[in-house]
Structure 1
Amino acid sequence: MIRSMTGFASGKGAFGPHSWTWELRSVNGKGLDLRIRVPEWLTGLEVALRGTLSKSLSRGNVTLSMRLSRDEADAELALNEAAMANAMDALVKTQQMAEARGVSLALSGATDLLAMKGMMEAGTDADDPGPLVAHLTSKFPELLSAFIDMRQTEGEALAGVLTSQLDQVASLTEQAAEMAAQRKDKMADALRENLARVMDNTQGADPDRVAQELALIAVKADITEEIDRLIAHVAAARDLLGQDGAVGRKLDFLMQEFNREANTLCSKAQSADLTSVGLELKAVIDQMREQVQNIE
Structure 2
Amino acid sequence: MIKSMTAFAKASHTKEFITADVTIRSYNSRHLDFAIHLPEACQSFEEQIKRLIAKTHDRGRIEVRLNFTDDSEASDLFEVDEVRARGYYSALSRLKDSLAIGSDISLDHILAARNIIIPAQKQVDTDLLGEVVLAVVEMAAGELDLMRRQEGENLFQDLSSRMDYIEGSMETLTKEAGKIPGVYKNRLMERIARLTQDAAEIDPVRLAQEVAVLSDKSDVSEEIVRLASHISLFREVMDAKDSQGRKLNFLIQEFNREFNTIGSKAGNAVLSHMVVDLKSELEKIREQVQNIE
| Other-structure match for 2:271 | 274
Query: Secondary structure of 1:56's match?
Result: coil
| Other-structure match for 2:2 | 2
* Offset of residue 45 of structure 1: 1.4
Q: For structure 1, which segment, 221-230 or 135-144, has the greater mean C-alpha deviation from structure 2 after superposition?
A: 135-144
| Other-structure match for 2:146 | 149
Query: Secondary structure of 2:14's match?
Result: strand
| Other-structure match for 1:45 | 45
* Offset of residue 37 of structure 1: 0.4
- Say whether the 8 Å CA contact 1:6–1:151 is kept in structure 2: yes
| Other-structure match for 1:256 | 253
Q: Which amino acid aligns with 2:279?
A: K
**1:64 pairs with 2:64:** yes
* Offset of residue 170 of structure 1: 0.6
| Other-structure match for 1:287 | 284
* Offset of residue 191 of structure 1: 8.0
Gap change, CA 1:8 and 1:201, over 3 Å in 2: farther
Q: 2:84 aligns with which of 71, 83, 86?
A: 86
| Other-structure match for 1:134 | 131
Deviations 1:125-149 (A, max 9, x none): 35x5232022211232111111000
Gap change, CA 1:264 and 1:92, over 3 Å in 2: closer
Q: Which amino acid aligns with 2:258?
A: E
Query: Secondary structure of 1:14's match?
Result: strand
What is the percentage of aligned positions where both structures have the same residue? 29
Unaligned runs of 5+ in 2: none
| Other-structure match for 1:77 | 77
Supply the distance in 1 between the matched residues of 2:73 and 2:7 (Cα, whole angstroms).
37
- Say whether the 8 Å CA contact 2:88–2:110 is kept in structure 1: no
Query: Secondary structure of 1:42's match?
Result: helix
Q: Which amino acid aligns with 1:31?
A: H
- Say whether the 8 Å CA contact 2:23–2:66 is kept in structure 1: yes
Q: Which amino acid aligns with 2:21?
A: T
- Say whether the 8 Å CA contact 2:12–2:136 is kept in structure 1: no
Deviations 1:71-99 (A, max 9, x none): 4876252544xx12332455567779989
- Say whether the 8 Å CA contact 2:181–2:215 is kept in structure 1: no
- Say whether the 8 Å CA contact 1:27–1:60 is kept in structure 2: yes
Q: How many residues align?
A: 290
Supply the distance in 1 between the matched residues of 2:274 and 2:223 (Cα, whole angstroms).
13
Gap change, CA 1:54 and 1:201, over 3 Å in 2: farther
- Say whether the 8 Å CA contact 2:14–2:132 is kept in structure 1: no
Gap change, CA 1:25 and 1:162, over 3 Å in 2: same
* Offset of residue 55 of structure 1: 3.0
Query: Secondary structure of 2:40's match?
Result: coil
| Other-structure match for 2:36 | 36
User: Which TM-score applies when normalising by structure 2?
Assistant: 0.82
Q: Which amino acid aligns with 2:13?
A: G
Supply the distance in 2 between the matched residues of 1:102 and 1:216 (Cα, whole angstroms).
115
| Other-structure match for 1:124 | 122
* Offset of residue 194 of structure 1: 6.3
Gap change, CA 1:261 and 1:96, over 3 Å in 2: closer
Deviations 1:102-134 (A, max 9, x none): 99998999xx999996436244235x5232022
User: Which TM-score applies when normalising by structure 1?
Assistant: 0.81
What is the root-mean-square deviation in Å for CA atoms of aligned residues?
Answer: 3.8
Supply the distance in 1 between the matched residues of 2:99 and 2:147 (Cα, whole angstroms).
76
* Offset of residue 15 of structure 1: 3.9
Q: Which amino acid aligns with 2:237?
A: L
| Other-structure match for 1:214 | 211
- Say whether the 8 Å CA contact 1:10–1:21 is kept in structure 2: yes
Supply the distance in 2 between the matched residues of 1:260 and 1:123 (Cα, whole angstroms).
65
- Say whether the 8 Å CA contact 2:181–2:219 is kept in structure 1: no
Supply the distance in 2 between the matched residues of 1:228 and 1:101 (Cα, whole angstroms).
100
Supply the distance in 2 between the matched residues of 1:16 and 1:55 (Cα, whole angstroms).
28
Unaligned runs of 5+ in 1: none
Supply the distance in 2 between the matched residues of 1:188 and 1:108 (Cα, whole angstroms).
105
